[in-house]
């Protein structure tokens, strides 16, 4: 790569697309140095009162501190809502975990491929089992309609997509989070099987 760059502008070698911040090329030693330095700066230990605030907020969302900090750095804001896929809600222990969450608005979506309403009924059962913590849910017949369903749920709840985390168990749900431009996507295993943030120090 260095030989290809020598004496030529970067744009002549690597096409710069939409969203590029005109930072240094990652393929050079200088680019790697800049990236490592920025990453170390981002994960530098914040002040104790900031750590306490983040620990409390992470626990309210059912996240580990590192998961919460990653979302905060990526999205630039703290999530206020979580959208769960049907398979994620059906994870063993999921319903009990949701009962312990106080602050975030919890929503759910499902793909009802057969169109017989069974997915909607399953969502209703899981929402009831979670003690009414799931504020609203929706099922769609077509996977391509999932992002629109998520955005409609968020609009009714007056929540920004950029303040929403999606927890799912499939690539379709991951793709939905990207297409709906949500703050982040977490796999159900990472969310329900990882320990939450502990009490503040």
Which tens digit of pLDDT belongs to each residue from 92-124? 888 888 888 877 899 999 998 777 888 889 998
Q: What is the CATH number of the domain that holds 143?
A: 3.40.50.1000
Q: Which residues have CB under 8 Å from 86's CB, separation 6+?
A: 108, 109, 110, 111, 119, 122, 123, 126, 139
Q: How many domains does the chain have?
A: 1
| In a domain? residue 27 | no
Q: Can you give the pTM of this predicted structure? A: 0.74
The closest of 84, 107, 103, 98 to 129, measured between CA atoms, is: 98
Domain that holds residue 181: 49-192
| In a domain? residue 7 | no
| In a domain? residue 175 | yes
**pLDDT at res. 74:** 85
| In a domain? residue 185 | yes
**pLDDT at res. 200:** 43
Which tens digit of pLDDT belongs to each residue from 57-74? 999 999 998 899 889 888
Contact criterion met (CB below 8 Å) for 64 and 165? no
User: Hey, what are 149's tokens?
Assistant: 């369903």
What average pLDDT does this structure show over 184-195?
A: 88
Which tens digit of pLDDT belongs to each residue from 4-30? 555 555 555 555 666 666 665 666 788
For residue 152, what pLDDT band results from cuts at 50, 70 and 90? very high
| In a domain? residue 19 | no
């Amino acid at each position: 790569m260095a030989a290809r760059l020598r004496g030529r502008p970067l744009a002549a070698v690597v096409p710069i697309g939409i969203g590029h911040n005109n930072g240094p090329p990652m393929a050079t030693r200088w680019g790697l140095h800049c990236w490592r330095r920025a990453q170390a700066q981002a994960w530098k230990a914040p002040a104790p009162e900031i750590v306490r605030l983040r620990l409390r907020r992470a626990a309210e969302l059912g996240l580990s501190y590192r998961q919460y900090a990653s979302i905060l750095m990526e999205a630039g804001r703290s999530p206020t809502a979580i959208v769960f896929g049907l398979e994620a809600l059906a994870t063993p222990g999921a319903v009990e975990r949701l009962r312990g969450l106080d602050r975030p608005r919890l929503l759910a979506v499902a793909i009802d491929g057969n169109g017989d309403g069974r997915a909607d009924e399953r969502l209703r059962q899981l929402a009831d089992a979670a003690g009414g913590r799931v504020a609203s849910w929706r099922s769609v017949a077509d996977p391509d309609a999932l992002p629109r369903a998520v955005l409609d749920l968020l609009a009714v709840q007056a929540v920004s997509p950029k303040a929403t985390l999606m927890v799912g168990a499939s690539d379709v749900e991951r793709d939905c989070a990207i297409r709906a431009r949500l703050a982040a996507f977490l796999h159900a295993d990472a969310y329900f099987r990882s320990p939450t943030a502990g009490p503040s120090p």
